[in-house]
């Protein structure tokens, strides 16, 4: 297994985080983002959450600010769409995603997996690929009741400290989710351990990359 470096310390990395709900990117890619910052990358992040009303918007903003402490620049945008109803607002969601391209030209897009069982997640994945056709898109995985985890083909190894920090951020900021049976440290640590086994690391996050262009 060969390592391909996405960044070098001191280099700028522009990342678009496009999540349907306030905890999605933290769950799917929080460890990767923390690792990139810890490695010395100058992260410029456009953090976009399509649906986060009331307390969930407060959670989204506080969590992103905590997770991205140390990033070079952070812009947080909340879409204001209804949780679970993104397909019903298809045209408006499409316009919202398209508007992001006018403000930001990312090196990496982190968003949902196209085969995710949640309808909001699938729609954002579709629009991400429609809108950011010439960009590296890494699709995240979100554990849930539906049992829709896929087979990742890209991994980011996580240190023990990074994983502990990711879990601490999730537990601290998302009080609205604590009643969900799957939303606990054991779930997040267990999935990270499994993905670590798959890439010869202790812990890791897994991503799906449908297209990669290797430049010589």
Q: What pairs with residue 100 in β-bridges?
A: none
How far is the CA of 121 from the CAs of 3, 46, 74, 112, 181, in angstroms?
29, 18, 23, 6, 20
Whether 213 is in a domain gets the answer no
Distance in angstroms (rounded) separating the CA atoms of residues 21 and 50: 6
Residue 4 lies in a domain: no
Distance in angstroms (rounded) separating the CA atoms of residues 47 and 85: 21
Give per-residue pLDDT as tens, 130-160: 999 999 999 999 999 999 999 999 999 999 9
Which CATH number does the domain housing residue 71 bear? 3.40.50.10320
In a domain, 72, yes or no: yes
pLDDT more than 90, % of the chain: 89
Predicted confidence band of residue 10 (pLDDT cuts 50, 70, 90):
confident
Q: Does a structural domain hold residue 5?
A: no
103 within domain boundaries:
yes
The answer to whether residue 196 scores a pLDDT higher than 80 is yes
* pLDDT for residue 4 is more than 70: no
For 187, residues 6+ apart whose C-beta sits below 8 A from its C-beta are 143
**Structural domain contains residue 212:** no
Q: Is residue 7 included in any domain, yes or no?
A: no
d(CA 136, CA 115): 18
Number of domains in the chain: 1
Domain limits at 101? 12-207
Q: Closest Cα to residue 140, out of 191, 90, 69, 187?
A: 191
Structure tokens at 106: 């990312």
Q: What DSSP string describes 51-109?
A: ---THHHHHHHHHHHHHTTT-SEEEEEE--PPTT-GGGGHHHHHHHHHHHHHH---SEE
Asked, for residue 215, whether it belongs to a domain, the answer is no
The arithmetic mean of pLDDT across residues 53-63, rounded, is: 95
């Amino acid at each position: 297994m060969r390592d391909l470096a996405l960044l070098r310390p001191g280099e700028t990395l522009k990342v678009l985080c496009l999540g349907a709900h306030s905890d999605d990117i933290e769950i799917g890619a929080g460890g990767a983002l923390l690792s990139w910052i810890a490695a010395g990358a100058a992260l410029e992040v456009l953090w976009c959450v399509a649906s986060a009303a009331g307390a969930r918007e407060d959670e989204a903003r506080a969590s992103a600010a905590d997770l991205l402490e140390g990033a070079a620049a952070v812009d947080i945008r909340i879409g204001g769409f209804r949780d679970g109803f993104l397909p019903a607002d298809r045209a408006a969601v499409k316009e919202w995603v398209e508007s992001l391209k006018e403000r930001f030209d990312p090196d990496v897009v982190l968003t949902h997996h196209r085969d995710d069982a949640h309808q909001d997640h699938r729609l954002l994945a579709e629009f991400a690929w429609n809108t950011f056709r010439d960009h590296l898109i890494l699709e995240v995985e979100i554990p849930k009741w539906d049992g829709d985890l896929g087979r990742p083909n890209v991994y980011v190894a996580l240190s023990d400290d990074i994983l502990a920090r990711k879990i601490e951020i999730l537990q601290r900021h998302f009080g609205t989710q604590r009643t969900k049976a799957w939303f606990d440290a054991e779930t997040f640590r267990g999935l990270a351990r499994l993905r670590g086994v798959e890439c010869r690391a202790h812990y890791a996050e897994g991503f799906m990359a449908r297209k990669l262009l290797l430049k010589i």
